[in-house]
Structure 1
Amino acid sequence: VMGTLRDLQFALQLKIEELRQRDTLIDELELELDTKDELIRRLQEELDRYRTTVSLPGSSAVSACRQFCAVLIIARLIRTDIEFCLISLTFFILYFFASTSRLIRASFLRNDLLKHLDEGEIRAIIACMHSTTINQGCYVIQEGTAGTQAYVLEEGRLEMMKDGLKLLTVEPEDMFGELALLYNCTHTYSVSARTDSRLWVVDRKSYQTILMQSGLKRLSHSTHYADGDYIIRQGATGDTFYIISKGQVKCSALILLEDIRAVSVIAAGEVTCLVIDRDSSDVDPTLLSTSTLSDFQIICPLGVGEFGHVDLVQLKSKTKCPFAMRVLKKKLIVSCGQREHIQRESHILMETSCSFIVRLHNTFKDAERLYVLTEACLGGDLSNLLKDNKILNDLRYLDEWSTRFYTACVVKALSFLHCQGVIYRDLKPEHVLLDEHGYAKLVLQCLKEVEVGKKTWTFCGTLGYMAPEIISNKGHNMCADLWSLGVFVFELLSGRLPFSHSDPLKILTATIRGIDQVDFPKTISRSASSLIKKLCRCEYDNPSERLGSQRNGARDIQKHKWFEGFNWDGLCERTLTAPVIPKVRQIQYWLLVFTAFHVSHFLNLSFSGQAFFGKRFIWPLYRGLGGAVHRLG
């Protein structure tokens, strides 16, 4: 009996120990279960976060999300390994995000403005896009409003309207509003939802930032070369700047970049020079640089500009030398974000001394306005010359000699700016003024200093004249001016632009397609056509291949057969007779007009744009001043 009792006690102790071990195991399992529950909770939160940020596409995606949540619940009930859930979630998100990416990428590749983006740029743009829903009957875009975003339709139907008339139906995978990615445009149409729809949106700032970063990476990439590899071949076009980060190189030839000056002159110690400009005016430059605003008197108003107006003025102490005074309102400049641009332009102009560029003499300011004193080119601009030619000769274009003369003046001006590391970026007839001798001068507008081997990404210029690399936002340099020069020659010789349309989008897409798709009129000779096509090489053919962009610069343009026989020395020495000598009145005539203006005002006579300038002796005067002298504003 004693033995049996002892055996029972021993068995009981074993059972108690076994129960204690089971309790310990249960505690461990419960702890593991709590850990898995916490992971499942975090997994569900992660899924919700992805659903919010990625906005999984389509009704099928919503159904799939519900199914996946059900899988998670089942997994929780059966305590499935959490790694399986994580892997499933990852594949789920990647699958549907890839589906959306394919839709947006297909939309980009169908769009004339965006189809040239590379794969990395497309991926970056898609990554910064977000989705939005629009209910039936609501507007995505309203006609007349400013736009900053472009849209890709994923599902639903939209309707595009203009002036109350239906233009087209927007289908899934269609893109619209892409002009807003380039500049602050005003929508010319409305887009409303015919059904509940889902859209993907990208804004201008994100788009331009991505393309700028992409361009900078291309400019600053590293390349490795093996022993014996050529880094630069003699005779090749040089548009790349190299810095050796490791190793050594050897040169088999010395390549010197040519400049306008044949030699350098360096001061050895202190030197004082007397400087006389070829076209120096009768007024002592020091008198202008030290003058104050009160030293000038207004002769008459010239016109109105975006930020103010322009007056014809003269020094009170010297009454036979007129100047143009731009009067700009500070509030408008600041509100339009143009403060830095105006400051940069003034700085560049003060450093510029070229007989083919309108000279800046001085700047003044008061509490409300900025005053910019420049030389007065009272012969009008080339745009008015084309219009006057149409009135007199029933021709909208200029003859070849006249076009060659004005183009040569512009080539000299651009060559000067480019040698200073400055891009012009807004060449067109309205910005080319004539002085009293009929010589053309550039009005400086969208200037930008760019170092050698670098680019800028500002969307700047005028539709129809700007180069494709500006439109595609791939970064541009001096080569963009050469494209505009080709368009400029085309317009003077034909009276129309090679890339023109009432729809801005069609202008941009035609520009990207290139000059080879343009029909040249018979008024453009074969040699002129050759010059234009060499200047307007498309960006995808490499802008650095444009005539005038290689190491000889503008000299290659001057040597083109279209300029054969042209007297470049005579142009620089101003001994050539200009095609048109403007009839600029004496300063006393301006005073007469100025007096008439104030007499009419004193007598309460009408002097509005139509009534006052409609008088026969006033309107021709305004046109004689250049009509577009107001472009200075």
Structure 2
Amino acid sequence: MASSKVKSGVNSDTNSLKESKSNASSLAGEAAPNNRIYCLDDLETMATVGTGTFGRVFLVKDKKSRAFYALKQMKIPDVIRLKQEQHVHNEKEVLTEVNHPFLIRLFWTYHDERFLYMLMDYVPGGELFSYLRSRGRFSNNTGLFYTSEIVCAIEYLHSKEIVYRDLKPENILLDSEGHIRLTDFGFAKKLSDRTWTLCGTPEYLAPEVIQSKGHGRAVDWWALGILVFEMLAGYPPFFDDNPFGIYQKILAGKLEFPRHLDFYVKDLIKKFLVIDRARRLGNMKNGADDVKKHRWFKPIDWDAVPLRKLKPPIAPKVSHEGDTSNFDVYPEEDWKKDPPVPQKDLEIFKNF
């Protein structure tokens, strides 16, 4: 179950791009939405803000505009070894197509003989995961705020026939004001029908994914049910020491709620965590409208949500645009020793 997770953290790594710059400095990748064409020489590496199975994310500063970005850098040999080529192409395809206030934006992609690069928004507030861990659990109103913004993000993705497939607190970033941004679209996919790939995080997998029945957008509503439970309880509803134990509990579908949970939110969670996806809230005829009309969301003005007019319950401490204090610190490591990739392997990424 190789995850394409690139988690967030911080460390200084000022030499991180130098080797690949010599190969790439004169070449530019695709035009960004603002019509700017970037190249690696334009980007000064400030810090490491994430590490993962085959990727790193760096905070970089554009030497021309002085703006900050996140540069996701993936080792091509590791992407191939872990059979993640399609996920990487999917991520680019999806991010090229989306434009929504609660989703990360992609500005530029590129590859040289060692790495794939994706230049994206830098979101300085850190992961929702760290705020949840430090508080233990969220209040009902705090959970309601984040859930409302996530519902709008999922509704938008589904309107474009995109399934996200990796909803969890680690993949929800907070911007400087405290609004959400979904990140890490490595498992996202444009769906024509159903898909059969087993991917995601064990605690958040829908039954139809575990059973390899073929799955679609309903998996995102299941994952939202898990997320709402975890935000308000402080732990996920199905957990065990090993993935197999988690899967057994998911398929058994037995829910035990902590006493303090609001009556309406318990009802909402039960309606998301329905094993029969044809009866799962969000996946029926009216789609996201059924979710928005649920009694728990009665206080929410849905027109105001995507306009970012709701007041965030947590205001991250951000001193400036390139502030990295809301991320973990990662140890330094020499990440550049890999030999160049053979030409036949580079062919896989010629359109990246």
User: Which TM-score bucket, shorter chain as reference?
Assistant: 0.7 to 0.9
**1:317 pairs with one of 64, 73, 81:** 64
Q: What SS does structure 2 have at the residue aligned with 1:571?
A: coil
**Over residues 387-433 of structure 1, what are the superposed CA-to-partner deviations in whole Å (9 max), with x where a residue is unaligned?**
221xxxxxx11001110111111111111111111111111111111
Are 1:436 and 2:176 an aligned pair? yes
Code of the residue aligned with 2:327 in structure 1: it is L
Q: Which residue of 1 aligns with 2:123?
A: 377
Native 8 Å contact 2:137 2:231 kept in 1? yes
Shift of 1:537: 0.5
User: What is the correspondence of 1:151-166 to structure 2 with a 5 Å cutoff?
Assistant: none
Q: Which residue of 2 aligns with 1:427?
A: 167
User: What is the correspondence of 1:124-203 to structure 2 with a 5 Å cutoff?
Assistant: none
User: What is the correspondence of 1:567-606 to structure 2 with a 5 Å cutoff?
Assistant: 567-587=301-321
Code of the residue aligned with 2:170 in structure 1: it is E
**Higher helix fraction (1 or 2):** 1
Q: Which residue of 2 aligns with 1:354?
A: 100
Code of the residue aligned with 2:197 in structure 1: it is T
Q: Which residue of 2 aligns with 1:537?
A: 274
Are 1:489 and 2:228 an aligned pair? yes
Q: Which residue of 1 aligns with 2:293?
A: 559
Native 8 Å contact 1:379 1:436 kept in 2? yes
Normalized against structure 1, the TM-score is what? 0.46
Are 1:525 and 2:262 an aligned pair? yes
**1:463 pairs with one of 185, 202, 206:** 202
Q: What SS does structure 2 have at the residue aligned with 1:310?
A: strand
Distance of aligned partners of 1:335 and 1:432 in 2 relative to their CA distance in 1, 3 Å threshold: same
Native 8 Å contact 1:384 1:626 kept in 2? no
Identity percentage over the alignment? 34
**Over residues 468-520 of structure 1, what are the superposed CA-to-partner deviations in whole Å (9 max), with x where a residue is unaligned?**
01111111111111111101000000001110011322211110011xx2211
Native 8 Å contact 1:380 1:627 kept in 2? no
Q: How many pairs align?
A: 301
Distance 1:322 1:523 in 2: 42
Distance 2:308 2:212 in 1: 40
Native 8 Å contact 1:463 1:508 kept in 2? yes
Distance 2:157 2:129 in 1: 22
Shift of 1:585: 2.1
Q: Which residue of 1 aligns with 2:327?
A: 625
Are 1:303 and 2:42 an aligned pair? no
**1:513 pairs with one of 249, 252, 259:** 252
Distance 1:317 1:483 in 2: 44
Q: Which residue of 2 aligns with 1:291?
A: 38
Native 8 Å contact 1:379 1:626 kept in 2? no
Shift of 1:532: 0.3
Distance of aligned partners of 1:339 and 1:546 in 2 relative to their CA distance in 1, 3 Å threshold: same
Shift of 1:184: 7.5
**After TM superposition, which residue ranges in structure 1, 4 or more long, deviate above 6 angstroms?**
none
User: What is the correspondence of 1:29-108 to structure 2 with a 5 Å cutoff?
Assistant: none
In structure 1, list runs of 5 or more residues that go unmatched: 1-182, 186-283, 390-395, 591-620, 629-633
Distance 1:318 1:429 in 2: 32
In structure 2, list runs of 5 or more residues that go unmatched: 4-31, 331-352
Code of the residue aligned with 2:295 in structure 1: it is K
Shift of 1:448: 1.6
Shift of 1:351: 0.9
Are 1:400 and 2:140 an aligned pair? yes
Q: Which residue of 1 aligns with 2:189?
A: 448
Native 8 Å contact 1:547 1:557 kept in 2? yes
Q: Which residue of 2 aligns with 1:472?
A: 211
Native 8 Å contact 1:381 1:626 kept in 2? no
Code of the residue aligned with 1:551 in structure 2: it is K
The Cα RMSD (Å) is: 1.9
Distance of aligned partners of 1:550 and 1:626 in 2 relative to their CA distance in 1, 3 Å threshold: farther
Native 8 Å contact 2:2 2:82 kept in 1? no
Distance 2:38 2:224 in 1: 37
Normalized against structure 2, the TM-score is what? 0.81
Which has the higher relative contact order, 1 or 2, with Cα contacts under 8 A spaced 6 or more apart?
2
Native 8 Å contact 2:104 2:121 kept in 1? yes
Q: What SS does structure 1 have at the residue aligned with 2:204?
A: coil
